[in-house]
Homo-oligomer: A and B are copies of this chain.
Amino acid sequence: MIAVRGLAGLKTRDLAREIGCANGAVYNLVADVDELVLRVGSRTLRRLDEALSAAVRAGNPSPQETLVRIAIAYCDFAAENLQLWRALFEHRMEADKAVPDWSIEDQMQLFRHIYVPLAALFPKRGAEELGVTARSLFSSVHGMVALGLEQKLVAVPLPALRKEIAGLVRAMIDGLIAQAA
Residues on A lying within 8 angstroms of B by beta carbon are: 6, 8, 90, 92, 95, 99, 104, 107-108, 132-133, 135-144, 146-148, 152-153, 156, 160, 164-165, 167-168, 170-176, 178-179
CA distance A160 to B128 in the complex (A): 12
Contacting pair B139 A146 (CB below 8 A): yes
Separation of A179 and B166 alpha carbons in the complex (Å): 12
Q: A143-B143, A143-B144, A147-B139 are in contact. Are A175 and B170 (CB under 8 A)?
A: yes
Residues of chain B within 8 A (CB-CB) of A156 are: 132, 135
In the bound assembly, the distance between CA atoms of A46 and B136 in angstroms comes to 27
Q: Is the CB of A171 within 8 A of B168?
A: no
Q: In the complex the two chains form, what is the Cα distance from A143 to B138 in whole Å?
A: 8
- Are the C-beta atoms of A144 and B153 separated by less than 8 Å? no
Determine whether the beta carbon of A170 is less than 8 Å from that of B174: no
23 A-B contacts (beta carbon < 8 Å): A90-B92, A99-B152, A132-B164, A135-B147, A136-B165, A136-B167, A137-B168, A139-B140, A139-B146, A140-B140, A140-B141, A140-B143, A140-B144, A140-B168, A167-B176, A168-B172, A170-B175, A171-B174, A171-B176, A171-B178, A174-B178, A174-B179, A178-B178
